[in-house]
Structure 1
Amino acid sequence: MPNQIIIFLLDTVLGLFSLALLLRFYVQWLRIPYYHPITRFLVTITDFVVRPARRFIPSWRGLDLSTFVLAWLVQFIILIGISLLVGTRAGLFAFSLLALVKLAGMTLNILFVMIIVQAVLSWINPNSPLAPILESFVGPILAPFRRFIPPIANLDLSPLFALLLLQVFMIVVENLQRQIMHAF
């Protein structure tokens, strides 16, 4: 039972921190304005580790690689910690690859939630302060669907088809995680 509690706390606390780092990476990549409260929140809670990491991990073509590498490192630490507590053995390469796949899964989950929130906000309050940020994230995903699927009675069905495609990708990522665990 104590191991379950430690695993839960490790996965929750470090998982949320990894999520914040990954969101900060995407916020900077999409050039969401710094003055927005969400951006400032992400910067505030992750800056203590991102600033020192930027000395060693340079950005590349406008991408803040230090933030992405830190998100990967936190996932790696979670996997190592859980593995030590459970007693499973795997190589460092397996854990590093699995941490990368976990980040891909987190990205898909972020997009899934944002598409749902954006669709609901478009019905309830399309002028919400959150709407431009959500559109920045999900606009590129929905654009191909919007080109081929016209609105029906002023109802945009593109989020529905995007969610279906994201669900397929989530299944692929989940199977990839299983295959990595079984291979190593």
Structure 2
Amino acid sequence: MAQDILQFLIDIVFQLFGIALILRAWMFAIRLHPFNPFSQAILRATEWLVRPIRRIVPGSGRFDWSSILACWLTAILYLLLTWLVAMGGLMPAASAIGPLLLSGLLVGLKWLFNVIVWVTLIQAILSWINPLSPIMPVLYTLTAPLLDPIRRILPRMGGLDLSPLVLLVLAQIAMMVLNHLVFTTFG
């Protein structure tokens, strides 16, 4: 029972922090205004890890490499802690380092698709119940680069926009594939 509770807490803390790092990198990529209150919350929550990494790995172009690297390191630490809890404190063998590094990348990608699912879902629900919510411009800015290509492909359905549904299905499929890869690579 204690092991399950500890694993649950590790899952929650690391996934939320990993998602915050992904949002930080995503906000950098789309040039979301940093003084937005929602941006400020993400920046403050992740600054303690990203700032030291940024001294070594600066951002370039549309990629915030320091946030991406921080997310990857967070995913690796998450996998190590999950392993330690599951195996009762036994460290993985040295031969597991390669699979661990690859699995960390896959877990980070899984978190990315999880963010896509939640941001798209929240935007879709808010567009029905409260389209004037203060967070809607942020959500629209985050999802527009993903939804616009789908909207160009889908036929027009009058006032019904099915692009969020298509994006949700594609993101869920990607998460299933990544989940399978993580457990076959480092499991």
Q: TM-score, normalised by structure 2?
A: 0.87
Partners of 2:15 and 2:111 within 8 A in 1: no
Aligned residues: CA RMSD: 1.9
SS at 2:134 equivalent: coil
Partners of 2:79 and 2:104 within 8 A in 1: yes
Amino acid at match of 2:142: F
Alpha-carbon distance in 2 for matches of 1:70, 1:139? 25
Name the residue aligned to 2:130: 125
Q: CA deviation at 1:5?
A: 3.0
Amino acid at match of 1:139: A
Amino acid at match of 2:173: V
Q: CA deviation at 1:97?
A: 0.7
Alpha-carbon distance in 2 for matches of 1:26, 1:113? 14
Amino acid at match of 1:172: V
For the pair 1:103 / 2:111, whether they are aligned, the reply is: no
Q: CA deviation at 1:123?
A: 1.8
Aligned residues: 182
Partners of 2:22 and 2:67 within 8 A in 1: yes
Alpha-carbon distance in 2 for matches of 1:42, 1:79? 23
Partners of 1:30 and 1:136 within 8 A in 2: yes
Runs of 4+ in structure 1 displaced over 6 angstroms?
Answer: none
Name the residue aligned to 1:9: 9
Structure 2, unpaired ranges of 5+: none
Alpha-carbon distance in 2 for matches of 1:139, 1:107? 16
Q: CA deviation at 1:108?
A: 0.8
SS at 1:55 equivalent: helix
Per-residue CA deviations over 1:81-115 (Å, capped at 9, x if unaligned) read 22122227351111111111011111111111111
For the pair 1:141 / 2:146, whether they are aligned, the reply is: yes
Name the residue aligned to 2:29: 29
Q: TM-score, normalised by structure 1?
A: 0.88
The 5 A counterparts of 1:1-184 are 1-87=1-87, 89=92, 91-181=96-186
Sequence identity percentage: 34
SS at 2:127 equivalent: helix
Partners of 1:150 and 1:156 within 8 A in 2: no
1:36 to 1:14, Cα distance in 2 relative to 1, 3 A? same
Alpha-carbon distance in 1 for matches of 2:144, 2:47? 27
Partners of 1:25 and 1:67 within 8 A in 2: yes
Alpha-carbon distance in 2 for matches of 1:67, 1:111? 17
Per-residue CA deviations over 1:96-143 (Å, capped at 9, x if unaligned) read 111110111111111111111111222222232212211122112211
